[in-house]
Structure 1
Amino acid sequence: MKTIFSNYINTFKGLSTEVWWLALITLINRAGTMVIPFLSLYLTKNLHFTLTDVGWIMSAFGGGSVVGSWLGGKLTDKIGYYKVMVFSLVLSGFLFIALQFLKTFLEISIGVFILMIVADMFRPAMFVALSAYSKPENKVRSVTLIRLAINLGFSAGPAIGGLIIVTLSYGGLFWVDGITCFLAGILLLNVLHPKKARIADEITIENPKSAYKDSNYIIFLFAMLLFGIAFLQYFSTIPLYYKEVHHLSEFQIGLLMGMNGFLIFALEMPIVKYLEKSLYTKTGLVVFGSILTAISFMFLNLSNWVGVLVIGMLFMTIGEMIAFPFSNAFALQRAKKGNQGEYMALYSIAFSIAHIIAHNSGMQLISAYGYSITWHTTTVVMLICIGLLYYLKWRMNSQKDKQ
């Protein structure tokens, strides 16, 4: 047991102090995102919106995320990642608290849209900061550490969120989310500064390549868009499925989703370190993760036994642990060719667009055809994603482009 623990700790060695601080800031920020997994339940149970209404509100969520990611990338290239991150954290804290006071469909749609513009400006700035603070040989593990922070926050958030809902109300979630944003912003101001970035990452690239002209990167982004459409069902339609079909309580839903974050915290870094040393390419590993995610949706239709929910979550978790770190590393690798903010903004935008499509289409499919057809459709989306990634691998091999 001591050897296992020692080997686990060794997987974290060599990461810079600034990356650890960035991970802690991300952890504090994401621990408060307990509102997000319960948003669809809050809108249907407390505000009595229809599934169609919820779908459109979640599309506003995604639309704001697209604008925020794009704006965050532009501002990062213009004024730097540090100022963008501070502005995003502090202002989104106020907006999260204010969101609970909005009640009508129009108010919530506009409020969610504005909130996500501000909140998701943080993402491309954070990725560029990560690249600046990290040693070149540790990029993938640095990305993985940030993901661990995010998922540790997500594992604690839903479980605590479920308890808050049961004992207090949904309103408490908004306060906690806002306060954690403030705390993350205060910590950022006190422990990180652009002067601590590695000099090698501050060199200006002569005639930087536009991400929009990188055709292989665009194909990759389309694949990630499809992956995001499927993956995000776990944060909107699947909690409803747990509630309506399997009759789980909010606390049980929080525990099931918390299991996802805990497993990622416990296993992702060792898995990534092992795979990083393997002969597999980054795109090949993203393919493998996508296959496991597709299988997770197949399990949902196999039986009414509640155990399939756990098995499905396990497959999705392992798929996520492999697909996300290496897709992120692929994007960071491509970003070295041009405007880093632009490259990482497009990576974030792919998932933001997925937010627009995923939640709304999932809600509409459930409303029109039921859960079973929705999971079959999602599986097909994942199969198309896998096909695109295989095409990208073939294309990059033929061009001798680094994967």
Structure 2
Amino acid sequence: MTTLLKNYFKNFSQFSVEVKVLAITTFINRLGTMVVPFLSKYMLEELHFSYSQIGWVMVFFGVGSFLGTWISGKLSDKIGFYKVMVFSLFTSGLIFILLQFLTTFYSFCLGVLLLTTISDMYRPAMLVSLDTYAGKNERTKALSLVRSSVNLGFMFGPLIGGIIITVLDYSFLFLIDGLTCVLSILLFSIYVKEKKLPYKLNTFKHLKEENSVFQDKPFLIHLVVTLITGILFFQMFTTLSLYYKEVFDFSSIESGLFLALNGVLILLFELSIVGYVEAKNINKLLVVSLGVLAMAVSYLFLLIENSVLALVVMMVFMTIGIMFTFPFANSFVKKRSLKKQEGKFMAVFTMSYSIAHILSTKSGMTIIAEYGYKANWIFLTCLGFLGFLLAYRLVFIVDKEKEMIKKKIVESLFATSSK
């Protein structure tokens, strides 16, 4: 762990002050999202919501995420990413503090919708800020630094959240969560000054209809695979956290440790895995398909009853799946998109995770309420295997497409030379 942190801070020291502060801000912000893993547990234990009601609240969580991503893209173009980031973190911090006072089902739904809409405006704006504060040749590294900050926060956040719930109570969790958001953006606004891009991105009005992202069949298949991986992933924060409590009677600290295990493994191995795949030029879609398979297999281990070891192995397989799918899924979309359409491709790709959140939480809670946890794990396993088959099939579709493009290039060359 010491070596890991040394390597992180060694890479950290190479960047500009703005990028460093952005990484620290993201770490504090991610550390502060300690409420999210315990939200379902809070609604069940403290608010006494039914499974169906919890499912609907998490639907609003996903809808808010979808709206926040879309609004952020619009506002970042109009008023700039800086103002969006400051507004998002400061306001969401206040809403986090106020959320504890909303105890009825409808008020909590509205509060969660407002919270996620405003808080999810941060990430798209933050990604745009990297294009401004990081040099052209260091943007990829800067993004990796921010991802490492997210993983560090994800590693410690759930554990700290569990300790706060156990030692204090949920009200302090909401309070501390809100204050970390406010603290992070105050730090950002003090040390980073607004800086605008020297140019404005083109709009897409001139693009022809046939260039629509929804007519790119390989991209659409990839979008379905992304949707499935999102559904498998988001159940970690909803049904799985309830499963820890109701079946194994874990404390909040013990539940937090499992999510911390996920963060530790990602921090230890993800960058190395990405580097190895890039260096060896391994087919990234094949890696994604293996990642979806690992996520599907992970839920099989939950069918083993009364085994803590099975929970650990499940989390290891799930983490392997996350490390194999998330980085390379993003890479495929960026390469797939035409230069002038990258914004459209990335927007649709990002929103697919918001839709996955909506489908994941509602379907999971409904299945558990009607048929129990085991039925939900079987459903997720089957869904994961379907995602694997689609992802694996996509490998051959894209390879065939590349061969056709090469063939057309050769034919065009011969046609030109014969004239």
Residue 80 (structure 1) shift? 3.1
Which residue of 2 is the match for residue 226 of structure 1? 228
Which residue of 2 is the match for residue 269 of structure 1? 271
Separation in 1 of the partners of 2:252 and 2:104? 24
Moved more, 125-134 or 159-168: 125-134
Residue 348 (structure 1) shift? 2.4
Residue 292 (structure 1) shift? 1.6
Match of 2:249 among 223, 239, 247: 247
Match of 1:292 among 283, 291, 294: 294
Structure 1 counterpart SS, 2:280: coil
Q: Is the 8 A contact 1:226 1:354 kept in 2?
A: yes
Which residue of 1 is the match for residue 261 of structure 2? 259
Distance 1:9 1:144, change over 3 A: closer
Distance 1:149 1:184, change over 3 A: same
Structure 2 counterpart SS, 1:88: helix
Q: Identity of counterpart residues, as a percentage? A: 42
Residue 12 (structure 1) shift? 3.8
Which residue of 2 is the match for residue 326 of structure 1? 328
Residue 373 (structure 1) shift? 1.3
Residue 103 (structure 1) shift? 0.8
TM-score by length of 1: 0.89
Deviation string 1:202-256 (CA, Å, 9 cap, x unpaired) is 7758957765555443332221111000111111001111111122111111112
Work out which structure has the larger RCO, using CA pairs closer than 8 Å and 6 or more positions apart in sequence.
1
Which residue of 1 is the match for residue 306 of structure 2? 304
Separation in 2 of the partners of 1:350 and 1:61? 14
TM-score by length of 2: 0.86
Separation in 1 of the partners of 2:212 and 2:132? 19
Q: Is the 8 A contact 1:15 1:134 kept in 2?
A: no
Matches within 5 A, 1:158-237: 158-193=158-193, 195=195, 211-212=213-214, 214-237=216-239
Structure 1 counterpart SS, 2:184: helix
Structure 2 counterpart SS, 1:280: coil
> Which amino acid in structure 2 is aligned with residue 37 of structure 1?
P
Separation in 1 of the partners of 2:27 and 2:129? 16
Which residue of 2 is the match for residue 57 of structure 1? 57
Which residue of 2 is the match for residue 40 of structure 1? 40
Separation in 1 of the partners of 2:347 and 2:185? 21
> Which amino acid in structure 2 is aligned with residue 326 of structure 1?
F
Residue 185 (structure 1) shift? 1.4
Matches within 5 A, 1:1-400: 8=7, 12=11, 16-17=15-16, 18-134=18-134, 141-193=141-193, 195=195, 211-212=213-214, 214-334=216-336, 337-338=339-340, 341-400=343-402
Distance 1:15 1:385, change over 3 A: farther
Structure 2 counterpart SS, 1:277: helix
Q: Is the 8 A contact 2:12 2:145 kept in 1?
A: no
Q: Is the 8 A contact 1:151 1:265 kept in 2?
A: yes
Deviation string 1:247-306 (CA, Å, 9 cap, x unpaired) is 211111111211111222222222222222121133232222222212211111134311
> Which amino acid in structure 1 is aligned with residue 85 of structure 2?
M
Higher Rg of the two aligned structures:
2
Separation in 2 of the partners of 1:341 and 1:56? 31
Distance 1:50 1:340, change over 3 A: same
> Which amino acid in structure 2 is aligned with residue 103 of structure 1?
T
Distance 1:68 1:107, change over 3 A: same
Residue 339 (structure 1) shift? 5.2
> Which amino acid in structure 1 is aligned with residue 332 of structure 2?
F
> Which amino acid in structure 2 is aligned with residue 347 of structure 1?
F
> Which amino acid in structure 1 is aligned with residue 318 of structure 2?
M
Separation in 1 of the partners of 2:21 and 2:335? 23
Distance 1:220 1:125, change over 3 A: farther
Moved more, 36-45 or 201-210: 201-210
Q: Is the 8 A contact 1:143 1:325 kept in 2?
A: no
Structure 2 spans left out of the alignment, 5+ residues: 406-419
Q: Is the 8 A contact 1:155 1:260 kept in 2?
A: yes
Residue 193 (structure 1) shift? 4.7
Separation in 2 of the partners of 1:350 and 1:326? 16
Distance 1:48 1:10, change over 3 A: closer
Deviation string 1:329-359 (CA, Å, 9 cap, x unpaired) is 3334456623555443323211111111111
Aligned length: 399
> Which amino acid in structure 2 is aligned with residue 62 of structure 1?
G
Q: Is the 8 A contact 2:161 2:256 kept in 1?
A: yes
Moved more, 338-347 or 284-293: 338-347
Separation in 2 of the partners of 1:180 and 1:232? 23
> Which amino acid in structure 2 is aligned with residue 306 of structure 1?
V
RMSD, matched Cα: 3.0
Separation in 2 of the partners of 1:345 and 1:397? 25
Distance 1:127 1:392, change over 3 A: farther
Structure 1 spans left out of the alignment, 5+ residues: none
> Which amino acid in structure 2 is aligned with residue 56 of structure 1?
W
Q: Is the 8 A contact 2:96 2:175 kept in 1?
A: yes
Residue 105 (structure 1) shift? 0.3
